[in-house]
Amino acid sequence: MAEFCGGALRLNDNKAGLCQEEGGLSKEDVSRILTEASEGSPFFENKKQRHQVIERRITAQQKILADASEEERNDALVKADQLLRDIENARNLSKSIVHVDMDMFYAAVEMRDDPSLREKPLGVGSNSMLATSNYVARKFGVRAAQPGFMARKLCPDLVIVPPNFKKYSAVGAVVRQVFAEYDPNFSSYSLDEACLDITEHLTGRHLLGVEERTLWRCDCDYQRQKDLKWSPTKTTDRPTDRPTDSETGDVKELEEEIVERCEKCGRPAEKIVTGSDAEGAVLELRTKVFQRTSLTCSAGIAPNTMLAKICTDKNKPNGQYQLASTREAVMGFIKDLPVRKIPGIGAATEEMLRALGVQTCSDIHAHRAELALSFSDLSLEHFMRVSLGVGSTVVGGDDDREKKSISNERTFRELSKPADLFKKLEELTEDLAQSMQDEELCGKCVTIKIKLVNFESRTRAHTVPHLIRRADEIFPIAKKLLEHEIRLAGGQLKLRLMGVRVSQLQPASASDHQQQSTLTKYFRKSPAKSPNTAKQNGLRLKRRDNDEASLFDPPGPSKKSLVPNRDNDEASLFDLPGPSKKSLVPNRDIILIDEDTDSSSSVDVKPPANYSEVVCPNCRQTIRTDRELMALNRHVDECLNRQFLLTETATNPSSARKKLRLSDSSVASPKNTRAGPSSSRKITDYLKR
């Protein structure tokens, strides 16, 4: 992705393979071509405006520091030092965390299926935007999140193929099956990226014999297929030296080994004996991925998720790197690391840090007082963690890095007709719902992300009071959000990207439990209502003394929700596991967040203050009701009465008709509302049937 700097576009080369090999373009040449190709375009103007916003922030930051007294600076230093001590005391070096990233995933799948593309510069996407590029193209500065027309200026021979996400999803599913063999609770960041905790796997790995740790590198896995015909063609390969390990029982490989070539795939049947340590386990994992997909991946091994992700890039492509689990090794690794290499630190934050003199992780410690004065407490804590190389050690668990949302987004050629926009939205929603089903998730908050043709990005969110997971539940909400944007644009909304996200996630079992809950349980959770209302329903409603949220509580501010800023991401807004800014998202409000300026505004679409929306637990219909629940009470009476009459009709038609006449007469004559016990039933009576 190109960044605006000094009136020109500068290539962000923090991506494997960019401008690093012979036969390509230098960074300077790439920056010059990008500027010449885009100057005056909406893309260039958008980058320029974003840079101006960052400059205003830096000016404000400098003023804060200039106005700070000596006492304030000392307090800030004490605050930062205390934070460093707390983080150091909580350091955990006991975990073996692995981050795995498929190499140029989309492009690799296309090259696998069409060998003619293997030696050509390749981009996957469209003339509007690329999702990824292969390493041949990266030599010329072509990378993900780059408009295709600009990429062709850098590399005129670039071949752009349209993405096939169904194919990528199928391959991703195979890869995830391999991950699950080493950590059933792994975290999947996207189709091609995941994080695993293999600590438990390693505890039993040393018990495996050599034979159990031996693989045959062949993508058709012929060694386990007894009836495969062998090719007579032989070749001599010199494998990597593997010394004998008397403790683990590894065998010393021969200096030269006669290897038969597979008749099916033509690859050498290389014998691989993997070790019993973390490096051996990861080598085995990567080999299995290659066997089953014919695709390579890279991996990083470290004591926490942050460092593991950084280590993945050290030996890309098709390699792995392990950082020792000692404080000395971690501090040595992090010392001279550019801050831009840290997950979650994008172009905007990098520029603000550079203005303070912070370019490497060791600079963070030197400027900790300035950081404490000019950044929020949340950002300060993140920076202090970075300076110590301390990250999350929980994968797929209940800490702050737990998956908070699931999303799906696509870049496409310009769309402006509402029908086309709704169709695209429906496709995204269906894919998202399928992913939620696969991962057994449900949620409450639906967000759409749109990017206009002038590269301006916006997100809008709406929260519902009940859990949702199906496409027919998500799409109507997302459609209303998109309709609002279309109205604001006067029917002239022109988009080049769209995404849908569901957050406030819970296991799908929570949705099943919600639907099975009885009406009595819902009322037991609700605050006390007026005596008349309680008497009408034959229930005694008690006010809760705990803080448990009620379905019937009036809407109020919700908990903070994450709005990631993915300046350093490859292709998506929603799936970054790293730190992100927080913004208040009022419950049931539509939130507009301008990612380019980090500004937000709220468009109120909720009912009046004394009204709320609740869901009938019997028929699932949404009811707008006041605080006394009068509308809900009437609906529930009618809903349950209707259900009761249907049951009675099936079992005793004459009795049902009699009850129906009694019901009609009571509605016509208020004085008859006090019917005798034989004709009066409580809501609980219906529920006991």
pLDDT band at 251 (very low <50, low <70, confident <90, very high): very low
| Most confident of the following: 199-203, 392-396, 562-566, 607-611 | 199-203
Residue 411: what pLDDT? 82
pLDDT band at 399 (very low <50, low <70, confident <90, very high): very low
Instruction: State which H helix or E strand residue 98 sits in.
Output: strand 97-102
Helix H, strand E, coil C: the string for 238-297 is CCCCCCCECCCCECCCCCCEEEEEECCCCCECEEEECCCCHHHHHHHHHHHHHHHHCCCE
pLDDT band at 423 (very low <50, low <70, confident <90, very high): very high
Check whether 30 has a pLDDT greater than 70: yes
Residue 358: what pLDDT? 96
pLDDT band at 403 (very low <50, low <70, confident <90, very high): low
Query: Among 180-194, 232-246, 314-328, whose mean pLDDT is lowest?
Result: 232-246
Residue 23: what pLDDT? 62
In the chain, CATH 3.30.1490.100 sits at 405-516+555-603
Contact 343, 306 (CB under 8 A): yes
Which tokens in the block code for residue 65? Answer: 């520091």
pLDDT mean over 355-381:
95
Check whether 60 has a pLDDT greater than 90: yes
446 secondary structure, DSSP code: E
Neighbour tally for 402: CB within 10 Å: 14
Check whether 587 has a pLDDT greater than 50: no
Residue 675: what pLDDT? 41
Residue 674: what pLDDT? 41
Query: Among 35-39, 126-130, 407-411, whose mean pLDDT is lowest?
Result: 35-39
**305 or 621: which carries more pLDDT confidence?**
305
> pLDDT tens digit string along 65-103?
999 999 999 999 999 999 999 999 999 999 999 999 999
> pLDDT tens digit string along 449-489?
999 988 888 999 999 999 999 999 999 999 999 999 999 99
Q: CA-to-CA distance for 217 and 172, rounded, in angstroms?
A: 20
Residue 646: what pLDDT? 59
Residue 46: what pLDDT? 78
Residue 269: what pLDDT? 62
Residue 240: name the closest of 209, 206, 280, 208 by CA. Answer: 280
Residue 146: what pLDDT? 86
Check whether 686 has a pLDDT greater than 50: no
Check whether 56 has a pLDDT greater than 80: yes
Check whether 406 has a pLDDT greater than 70: yes
Phi, psi of 543 (to 5 degrees): -75, 135
122-125 and 97-102 strand pairing: unpaired
Residue 273: what pLDDT? 83
| CB-based burial label for 336 (10 Å; 0-12, 13-18, 19+) | exposed
pLDDT mean over 357-381:
95
Query: Among 23-32, 273-282, 521-530, 601-610, whose mean pLDDT is lowest?
Result: 601-610
Residue 292: what pLDDT? 92
Residue 392: what pLDDT? 93
Residue 413: what pLDDT? 82
pLDDT band at 254 (very low <50, low <70, confident <90, very high): very low
pLDDT mean over 492-514:
85
Where residue 76 falls (left for φ over 0; alpha for ψ -120 to 50; beta otherwise) is alpha
pLDDT mean over 427-434:
94
Q: CA-to-CA distance for 301 and 314, rounded, in angstroms?
A: 11
214-217 and 320-322 strand pairing: unpaired
pLDDT band at 304 (very low <50, low <70, confident <90, very high): very high
The amino acid sitting at 516 is Q
Average pLDDT of every residue of the chain: 74
pTM value is 0.62
Contact 504, 464 (CB under 8 A): no
Helix and strand element counts for the chain (H, E): 23, 25
Question: Distances in Å between the alpha carbon of 535 and those of 484, 486, 532, 641, 686?
Answer: 42, 47, 5, 17, 16
pLDDT mean over 93-122:
96
pLDDT mean over 601-623:
54
CATH architecture for the domain at 405-516+555-603: 2-Layer Sandwich (3.30)
Residue 609: what pLDDT? 45
Query: Among 14-28, 230-244, 630-644, whose mean pLDDT is lowest?
Result: 230-244
Check whether 407 has a pLDDT greater than 70: yes
pLDDT mean over 93-119:
96
The residues pairing with 212 across neighbouring beta strands, listed in sequence order, are none
**340 or 245: which carries more pLDDT confidence?**
340
